[in-house]
Structure 1
Amino acid sequence: MIKREIIYTEKAPQPIGPYSQGILVENPSKILFVSGQIPINPETGELIKGDIKEQAKQAIKNLIAVLEAAGAKVEDVAKVNVYLDDINDFGEFNKVYEEYFGKSKPARAVVQVAKLPKNVKIEIEAIAIFE
């Protein structure tokens, strides 16, 4: 039987639309779909308005908070999608990304988009598979 559970944590920003922070599916392994995380400080609700490095760090921390709320960790991430408002930020973003995902190296796509929610520079989503 497939089990589906909504994941919510106060350690990541509240959803700003009709979606969940994450959805956990068990069949029998657990598969976690983490919604796109943007650089909002969950404690204050304020946007991080710094450069791409500062925004990327906060977005990744938010993503990790959702992973941990479901019982997963960074090493469980199998796929990451990254949306940048300026692909010229790719190199600087990659330095931050490597700090968090460098050892596990999940499959990844990075694309430039015309605009992101709240005019941030980055949004990041992930899929994790774990026991």
Structure 2
Amino acid sequence: MHMNRQQISTEHAPSPAGPYSQAIIADGVLYTAGQTPHHPDTGELVGSTIEEQTDQAMRNLAAVLESCGSDFSRVVKATVHLQNPARDFTGFNETYQKFVSHPYPARTTVGSHLGDFLVEIDVVALCPR
């Protein structure tokens, strides 16, 4: 069985900080790297609240999705890392829900050490091309 893999890259999301791709398409499914609340042009952290940082991380994800002709309606799975789930879960959910619609993607949310930012999100999505 031969698997078709293609690297996806866009200047509208932050560049990888190590040996990984922004996303890979394998057999029509897009797997993104974790997107953080950093500005794609400057690399600067955007926002200080969970709402502001979630908004930027989701905008970065949207850019990666769009680079293969996809969007949040095609996301089937999301993995969310929160630095402080007890404090930030509600604020994260309120902002996240502005980007996704019913039927919502399956999702796992975990607490993680993230350095100086509050949230990191990766998704698995169907990619039409």
Runs of 5+ unmatched residues, structure 2: none
Equivalent residues in 2 for 1:1-131 (5 A)? 1-26=2-27, 30-87=28-85, 88-113=87-112, 115-116=113-114, 118-131=115-128
TM-align CA RMSD = 1.2
8 Å CA contact 1:79, 1:126 repeated in 2: yes
Q: Percent identity?
A: 40
1:104: how far off? Answer: 4.1
**What is the TM-score of this pair, normalised by structure 2?**
0.92
Q: Which runs of 4+ in 1 moved over 3 A?
A: none
8 Å CA contact 2:32, 2:124 repeated in 1: yes
- Please state whether the residue corresponding to 1:13 is helix, strand or coil: coil
Runs of 5+ unmatched residues, structure 1: none
1:71: how far off? Answer: 1.4
Larger helix fraction of residues: 1
**Aligned length in residues:** 126
Larger strand fraction of residues: 1
Looking at structure 2, the residues matched to 46 and 24 of structure 1 have their Cα atoms a distance apart, in angstroms, of: 27
For 1:111, give the aligned amino acid.
V
8 Å CA contact 2:25, 2:127 repeated in 1: no
- Please state whether the residue corresponding to 1:14 is helix, strand or coil: coil
Cα deviations by residue, 1:27-46 (Å, 9 ceiling, x for unpaired)? xxx10000000001112221
**What is the TM-score of this pair, normalised by structure 1?**
0.91
